[in-house]
Amino acid sequence: MASTLKPLVPLPPPSQPVVDAGGRMNKDWYLYLKELDRHLREVEERATAGGL
């Protein structure tokens, strides 16, 4: 059975710091972590519903 989960967005380059010198999170990392959170929540919902 094929998965309908969307693939994750690519991981930002390791050379990019997660937090900049001003203490703010890097935009690429923020978007990646936001998408990772959405992905994991979808997996959790499917597992709870028995749909994986």
The residue extents of the domains of the chain are: 26-52
Task: Give me 48's structure tokens.
Answer: 């709870």
Q: Residues 42-49: what's their mean pLDDT?
A: 86
The pLDDT, as a whole number, for residue 19 is: 93
pTM: 0.68
Do 33 and 26 touch, CB atoms closer than 8 A?
no
* Whether the predicted pLDDT of 38 surpasses 80: yes
The pLDDT, as a whole number, for residue 2 is: 56
CA–CA dist 34, 10 (Å, integer): 12
| SS3 state of residue 9 | coil
The pLDDT, as a whole number, for residue 1 is: 46
